[in-house]
Amino acid sequence: MVVWIPVTGREAEEFLHSVSIRNGKDVQGASKAMKAIEARSASHHDEEVAKFLVPLTEQSTFLPHWEYCNDIPLMDLSSLDHNDHRQDATAATAALVKAAASWGVFQVVNHGLPTSVLEGAMAVTKEFFSMPEEEKQSYAQDYENGRVQGYKSTLDAFHMTRTLGSQLEYILQPEPLSIKDKWPSTPAAYKDVIEEFGKGVYKLLVRIVELLLAGLRVSKTSKTNRMLKGNLIQMLRLGSYEPCPQPEMVLGFKPHLDHTILTAMVQDDIGGLEVNKDGQWYKVAPIPGAIVIILGDQIQTITNDNFKAVQHRVVLNPNSSRNSIVCAITPSSDTIVSPALELVDDVHPALYHPYSYADFRLATFQNWYTGQEGLDKFRTQLHQGGTADQASKSPTIGLDSPLNIIAAIKPRNQNPKSIQPHQDFDFQTPILLKQGTLVA
Ligand SMILES: O=C(O)CCC(=O)C(=O)O
Ligand SMILES: [Fe+2]
């Protein structure tokens, strides 16, 4: 049985404060707060419990920080002509398919983005997060009104998702969906650098999707490729994670599956990303110049489970802060996602009903909190038996019901309006729960 460590909202606030989200690096204070929380948890009967720390049973899954996994595939894409999509790329395709099918995650080098572009993007990310909190707050998300583009402090992220990382997130493309006033104007180089980075990553992700589909013999002119073409949304999420003296007790990003087609991630040299394979967590090594590619839910549907989305999480470092840049492609809201026809026949029936991406997001927001596979809701009848079993085995993250979260979140607005899914809705952000209202 999973044992949760109960902590009241006030203790959580103190803990956060002591981890110095706002003012420096009070590591000793954080240790003290953790001790207070542990002592309190011994009694286990606080009615206003906010269940958010890593369950005791899962704390043993934390590996020492230096044990990176050498088996996660590292792909050299230098054989690809990054400007010519007509090029036959048989060898690269076969290797990518193998990596995608076996791990659901891989790293790529010689991917067409110059190292200077990756370094430049990381430099402006670090600069942005090192600005005073008030300045970052000028780009804050207006999540009271359901808008989830912009800056989210660690405190806000903690209220929403019980994890410890601040973020700046927004839609990069298509332009009309991007809320441009949430793009920082400092550092001065930010916009140009991120724009170049975003364009390069977009090209790379589209190319990898094409190759992965080609590897499964889905032709370039197939309905699936046509469906994807011109219907993609590109999202950006810059992340900043403070050091945590007891990283086994709280996560930087809880275990989850990305709702995306593919996600690209660049991390600094601190590391912290872990992926789950067959129930075991593995650390993804930071490799200078490499881009981590993570398979999301949508590629799982499109490929009819030939590829699976990979569960991942971010573990905090006891001594160092960490930055990451996450950039992903999803279908647009009205895109109908379904298994590619080429991958369905009598022996391999469609495992998913066609759904619009908007419906997927609406139907799966709760899964973000339970850690269960969101796609289960769209499985065809035929395959639901096996799925229920699978779902019960999925690791959970310590939030057994969204209602608990609602109870735990301090209301920020006493008179909330009824909130409708907004145009930012496509953004793959944890759904905010507020007084019973669910917001994308
Ligand atoms: O910061 C990271 O390394 C990963 C964050 C992540 O998984 C996400 O943004 O979906
Ligand atoms: Fe993710």
Task: Provide, rounded to the nearest whole percent, the portion of the chain with pLDDT above 90.
Answer: 43
Inform me whether the pLDDT recorded for 274 exceeds 80.
Answer: yes
Of all atoms in ligand 1, which is nearest to the CA of residue 326?
9
Beta carbons within 10 angstroms of residue 298's beta carbon: 24
Number of domains composing the chain: 1
Residue 167 lies in a domain: yes
Q: What kind and span of H or E run contains 312?
A: strand 312-314
* Residues 6+ away with beta carbon under 8 Å from 343: 216, 218, 303, 304, 306
The domain in which residue 291 lies consists of: 9-344
- DSSP assignment of 289-311 equals T-EEEEE-HHHHHHTTTSS----
Residue 164 confidence (pLDDT): 77
Residue 84 confidence (pLDDT): 80
Task: Tell me the CA–centroid distance for residue 273 and ligand 1, in Å.
Answer: 7
- What are the Cα distances from residue 16, in Å, to 26, 345, 409? 11, 53, 14
Residue 356 lies in a domain: no
Q: Which amino acid is at 240?
A: S
Ligand that comes closest to the CA of residue 326 = 1
In 3-state terms the chain splits into helix, strand, coil percentages (rounded to 5) of 35, 20, 45
Tens-place pLDDT, residues 364-400 = 765 555 555 678 889 997 555 444 333 333 322 222 2
Inform me whether the pLDDT recorded for 261 exceeds 80.
Answer: yes
Residue 361 lies in a domain: no
Of all atoms in ligand 1, which is nearest to the CA of residue 252?
1
Residue 266 lies in a domain: yes
pLDDT, mean of residues 269-289: 94
Three-state SS at 225: helix
Q: How confident is the model at residue 179 (pLDDT cuts 50, 70, 90)?
A: confident
Tens-place pLDDT, residues 229-239 = 878 999 999 99
Instruction: Tell me the whole-structure pTM to 2 decimals.
Output: 0.79
Question: pLDDT higher for 323 or 222?
Answer: 323
Tens-place pLDDT, residues 118-170 = 999 999 999 999 999 899 999 988 766 666 788 988 767 665 666 678 899 88
Pocket test for ligand 1, best of 161, 242, 324 (most atoms within 8 A of CB): 324
Ligand that comes closest to the CA of residue 427 = 1
The response to whether residue 326 sits with its C-beta less than 6 Å from ligand 1 reads yes
Beta carbons within 10 angstroms of residue 411's beta carbon: 10
Ligand that comes closest to the CA of residue 239 = 1
Residue 13 lies in a domain: yes
Residue 309 confidence (pLDDT): 95
pLDDT, mean of residues 242-263: 84
Of all atoms in ligand 1, which is nearest to the CA of residue 237?
9
Q: Tell me what ipTM this predicted complex has.
A: 0.99
Residue 31 lies in a domain: yes
b/e per residue 343-369 (b: at least 16 CB within 10 A): beeeeeebbbeebebbbbbbebbbbbb
Nearest Cα residue to atom 10 of ligand 1? 258
Residue 358 lies in a domain: no
Tens-place pLDDT, residues 185-227 = 989 999 999 999 999 999 999 999 999 999 999 988 888 888 8
Inform me whether the pLDDT recorded for 256 exceeds 80.
Answer: yes
Task: Tell me the CA–centroid distance for residue 171 and ligand 2, in Å.
Answer: 16
The response to whether residue 368 sits with its C-beta less than 6 Å from ligand 1 reads no
Q: What is the CATH number of the domain that holds 288?
A: 2.60.120.330
Residue 428 confidence (pLDDT): 38
Residue 323 confidence (pLDDT): 97
Residue 310 lies in a domain: yes
The least confident of 84-98, 309-323, 402-416 is 402-416
Question: pLDDT higher for 69 or 422?
Answer: 69
Q: How many Cα atoms sit within 13 Å of 53 on the Cβ side?
A: 24
Which of the 8 DSSP states describes residue 279? T
